[in-house]
């Protein structure tokens, strides 16, 4: 890690984080609608008790998932500066595939290596949960697509008009064979 990079760690998302993460989603994605969706999804996730259960132990869940707050010491104390997560598409898909869920870095912390550090740590968590490949769906040709390509992902598919009549999605994936598994995500 470069000396000028802000050190970031991941911890589970808690109910008291949900409003902060909604606001980060609005700023990072530039969309109030996305912020509302993120808020709803994380509220349900936390209320159901899943934030205390690693993805690989969510045996009765139709959509096993695990979400993380990216936190850093920013001088005035620890602050949440991003979010990421992983999920498995139910029990009918290959267990070696995990998907990257809601991933965002607050605008004020972009360009400081936070996204790369967060992604690298999430890949280590995914590896420890049995994943051999990590997939992500994002806006085709957007900034996120470039970010994932720079981090070793390759394009698998283009979903035409996936987000609306004039907005396509890209499905990208990356093998995790070169990633060292992470033993445990911090509790806080």
pLDDT digits (tens, 9 = 90+) for 8-31: 999 999 999 999 999 999 999 888
Residue 78 domain flag: yes
Residue 93's pLDDT is what?
76
Structural domains in the chain (count): 1
Q: How far apart are CA 161 and CA 169, in angstroms?
A: 7
What is the average pLDDT across 75-97?
87
Q: Is the pLDDT of residue 171 over 70?
A: yes
- Residue 48 token pair: 């159901």
CA separation, residue 172 to residues 19, 27, 69, 131 (Å):
29, 24, 23, 15
Residue 183 domain flag: no
The fraction of the chain above a pLDDT of 70, given in percent, is 95
Residue 99 domain flag: yes
Residue 2 domain flag: no
Residue 1 domain flag: no
Residue 185 domain flag: no
Domain of 46, in residue numbers: 9-175
**pLDDT 10s digits, 102-139:** 899 999 999 899 999 999 999 999 999 999 999 999 98
The most distant pair of C-alpha atoms in the chain lies apart, rounded to whole Å, by 46
Q: In what order do the strands lie in the sheet with 97-105?
A: 9-12, 65-73, 78-87, 97-105, 133-139, 169-175, 154-159
DSSP 176: -
pTM: 0.90
CATH number for the domain harbouring residue 70: 3.40.630.30
Q: Is the pLDDT of residue 6 over 70?
A: yes
Residue 2's pLDDT is what?
45
Residue 43 domain flag: yes
Residue 184 domain flag: no
Residue 77's pLDDT is what?
86
């Amino acid at each position: 890690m470069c000396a000028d990079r802000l050190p970031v760690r991941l911890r589970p998302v808690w109910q008291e984080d949900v409003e902060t993460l909604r606001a980060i989603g609005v700023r990072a994605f530039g969309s109030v609608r996305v912020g509302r969706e993120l808020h709803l999804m994380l509220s349900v996730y936390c209320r159901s008790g899943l934030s205390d259960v690693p993805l690989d132990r969510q045996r009765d869940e139709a959509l096993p998932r695990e979400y993380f707050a990216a936190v850093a010491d920013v001088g005035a104390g620890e602050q949440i500066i991003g979010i990421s997560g992983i999920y498995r598409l139910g029990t009918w898909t290959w267990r070696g595939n995990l998907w990257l869920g809601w991933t965002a870095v607050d605008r004020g912390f972009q360009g400081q290596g936070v996204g790369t550090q967060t992604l690298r740590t999430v890949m280590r968590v995914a590896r420890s949960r049995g994943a051999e490949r990590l997939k992500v769906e994002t806006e085709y040709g957007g900034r996120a697509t470039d970010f994932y390509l720079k981090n070793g992902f390759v394009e698998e598919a283009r979903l035409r008009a996936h987000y609306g009549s004039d907005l396509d999605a890209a499905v990208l994936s990356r093998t995790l064979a070169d990633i060292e598994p992470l033993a445990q995500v911090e509790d806080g």
